[in-house]
Amino acid sequence: MTNKTVQKTFMHIFLLLGVVISLAPFYWMIVGATNPSSDVLSFPPKLIPGDYLLENLRNLSHSIDIQKTVFNSAAISIIYVVFSLLICSAAGFAFAKYKFKGNNLIFSLFLLAMMVPYQATIIPLFQLFGSLDWINTFRAVLLPQLCYPFAIFLIRQNMKAIPDSLLEAARMDGAGELFIFFRIVLPTMKPTMAAVGIFLFTHQWNNFMWPLIVMTTQDHYTLPVALSTLAGLNSIDYGQLMLGTTISVIPIMAVFLILQKHFVSGILGGSVKE
């Protein structure tokens, strides 16, 4: 065997080991979802799926109304992604292609906003939505982070790669700014929009702290908040918890698998130099 073959063999073994280590917790979680609570933390651990899946599902539905909770999370996440993508792409387009006084200063302030701890904004936001009587409403969950600084940054960096001559040619042909934005700019930004959409969906789907504070009734709970109620003071049903966690992971994996071919190209597109 040549040195190159040996190196490739060791590289494949190393990568395979990494895959096994990465997937092992997910496999254990799925197996735990099919076993009763008493068997989840047993030693030696059970690595073969059991026959308790339907029972765990019935118990989970009784504990947190899993169908309603998943619907809440899905509705909030999808609406959030659609409106956030629209707002952030418009802002990124303005920062990338329009020259106006204070452009760089305002964009720098957006980047500085990424450095502000999220916890520091919770009390002012709660007071604001309380004064608007929006506590325990989906609006209170959706609105605070529609204008997401990282999404604006990534979209702006990618839009800088669009030739200005293309936009000028469209303007000379009589195209309006909305037509240019929706019919020329956005279609060329599909990989970036897919990458940003994954970030936004994951962010909102996993959002826990703010919905926990602003939602006060169980019928408005999102999935992360509802799952946190399964951990009682005296006992925890690990079978239900594992099944609920498995359900919460499936949408994120599905979104990533559907959009993965656009993900890498969308991220790399943000490396365009000024």
Q: Provide the pLDDT for residue 70.
A: 93
Written in H, E and C, the secondary structure of the chain is CCHHHHHHHHHHHHHHHHHHHHHHHHHHHHHHHCCCHHHHCCCCCCCCCCCCHHHHHHHHHHHHCHHHHHHHHHHHHHHHHHHHHHHHHHHHHHHHHCCCCCHHHHHHHHHHHCCCCHHHHHHHHHHHHHHCCCCCCHHHHHCCCCCCHHHHHHHHHHHCCCCHHHHHHHHHCCCCHHHHHHHHHHHHCHHHHHHHHHHHHHHHHCCCHHHHHHCCCHHHCCHHHHHHCCECCCCECHHHHHHHHHHHHHHHHHHHHHHHHHHHHHHHHHHCCC
pLDDT over 90, % of the chain: 28
Task: Give residue 201's pLDDT.
Answer: 92
Q: What is the pTM of this model?
A: 0.85
> How do residues 211-230 score in pLDDT, each as one tens digit?
999 998 888 999 999 998 88
Which of the residues in the chain have pLDDT under 50? 270-274
Angle at alpha carbon of residue 220, lines to 219 and 225, rounded to 5°: 100
Position 110, amino acid: F
What are the domain boundaries of the chain? Answer: 58-271
- What local confidence, expressed as pLDDT, does residue 263 receive? 64
Quote the pLDDT of residue 17: 92
pLDDT for position 269: 52
The pLDDT of residue 274: 45
For the domain with range 58-271, which CATH number is right: 3.40.980.10, 3.40.630.10, 1.10.3720.10, 3.40.50.300?
1.10.3720.10
| pLDDT of amino acid 272 | 46
Residue 117 has a pLDDT of 84
Which pLDDT value is given to residue 157? 87
Residues 97-135 pLDDT 10s: 888 888 888 888 888 878 888 888 899 999 999 999 999
